[in-house]
Amino acid sequence: MIVAERKPIAELTSRLAPYRRILVVGCNTCVAVCSAGGAKEVAVTSALLRIALGREHPETRVDETCVERQCEVEMNAELAPSLGNYEVILSMACGVGVQTLAEQFNTAVVIPALNTKFMGRPEGLGEWSERCAGCGNCVLERYAGVCPITRCSKNLLNGPCGGSANGRCEVDPERLPCAWQLIYDRWVALGQLDRYLTNEPAKDWSSSLHGGPRRIQREDIR
């Protein structure tokens, strides 16, 4: 899923300071699952904003709502009738949701409440880790199911570098395992270490963001 984190309240307060009528819009999909922008976080954030913004301007109105998937135009249609009542939308969706609202409601000011972080998964309570960089040409089969592009700090396809010690990455040993240790351990477990000896050629990055913004068109569905 897409993992996001809410911006600090102070940052949101400063961005919203010029406005008196604010609509906070959450999203019930990825960001709800990672406890960043679902109905619960919308309620908490709205309450905090009412207190913070109400100190100087008690007339400030912060209303809240949540849509099922903010990245889909159809799901946001329900917002249209009430938008005239607000000066600004604080979107608690990922960057895709924020952009969808901005594109869909072209006279609305839309401000992001979250920092969209990565595609990842939960690691127990209150912790998430990045697992996919969306490079557009999956190599996981060649690395025993561990992504060196996402999980190696230098994206090495023929790693490891010299900074792998005791299974940890030198960039942040406390938090980061060395991807190449993980790949190695899997290869050994699977009896596939010989795969390492095939040199991986220079990657074609044109399928990734480095090739420019991407779009998928599927004739079988259109």
Partner 1 sequence: MSPVSRLQSLLERREFTVSAELGPPKGPNIEVITTKIGLLRGMCDAVNVTDNQTAIVRISSAATCALLVQQGIEPIMQMTCRDRNRLAIQADLFGAVALGVRNLLCLSGDHQVFGNHPTAKNVFDLDSVQMIGMVKRLRDEGLTLGGEPVDGAMPMFIGGAANPFGDPFELQVLRALKKANAGVQFIQTQCIYDMVRFREWMKRVTDLGIPEHVHILAGVMPLKSAGAARYINNNVAGIYVPDPIVKRMSAAGKGQKARDEGIRITAEIIEQVREIPGVHGVHIMAVEWEEAVQPLTEMAGLLPRPVLAEGE
Task: Check binding of 189 to partner 1 (CB under 8 A).
Answer: no
Task: Check binding of 197 to partner 1 (CB under 8 A).
Answer: yes
Q: Which is nearer to partner 1, 126 or 162 (CB)?
A: 162
Task: Check binding of 173 to partner 1 (CB under 8 A).
Answer: yes
> Could you give the 3-state DSSP secondary structure of residue 2?
strand
Q: Can you tell me which of 84, 166, 174, 216 binds partner 1, judged by CB under 8 A?
A: 166
Residue 44 to residues 33, 104, 132: CA-CA distances in angstroms?
A: 16, 26, 30
Stretch that binds partner 1, among 9-17, 94-102, 134-142, 156-164 (CB under 8 A): 156-164
The DSSP secondary-structure symbol of 215 reads -
24: its two tokens: 């906070």
Q: Can you tell me which of 66, 93, 178, 179 binds partner 1, judged by CB under 8 A?
A: 178
> Could you give the 3-state DSSP secondary structure of residue 80?
helix
- The number of helix segments (H) and strand segments (E) in the chain equals 7, 9
Q: Can you tell me which of 156, 177, 186, 207 binds partner 1, judged by CB under 8 A?
A: 156
Task: Check binding of 143 to partner 1 (CB under 8 A).
Answer: no
The enclosing H or E element of 52 equals helix 39-54
Task: Check binding of 170 to partner 1 (CB under 8 A).
Answer: yes
Contact by Cβ (8 Å): 62, 88: no
Residue with tokens 């880790």: 129
Q: Can you tell me which of 5, 72, 130, 200 binds partner 1, judged by CB under 8 A?
A: 200
Q: Identify the CA nearest to 131 among candidates 114, 152, 115.
A: 152
Tell which positions 88-127 bind partner 1, by CB under 8 A: none
Task: Check binding of 29 to partner 1 (CB under 8 A).
Answer: no
Bond preceding residue 8 cis, omega within 30 of 0: no
Q: Can you tell me which of 41, 144, 164, 179 binds partner 1, judged by CB under 8 A?
A: 164
Stretch that binds partner 1, among 35-43, 54-62, 118-126, 160-168 (CB under 8 A): 160-168
Task: Check binding of 205 to partner 1 (CB under 8 A).
Answer: yes
Type of residue at 216: I
Q: Which is nearer to partner 1, 136 or 163 (CB)?
A: 163
The enclosing H or E element of 27 equals strand 21-27
Task: Name the site residues for partner 1 (rule: CB under 8 A).
Answer: 153-168, 170-173, 178, 180-181, 184-185, 193, 196-197, 199-203, 205
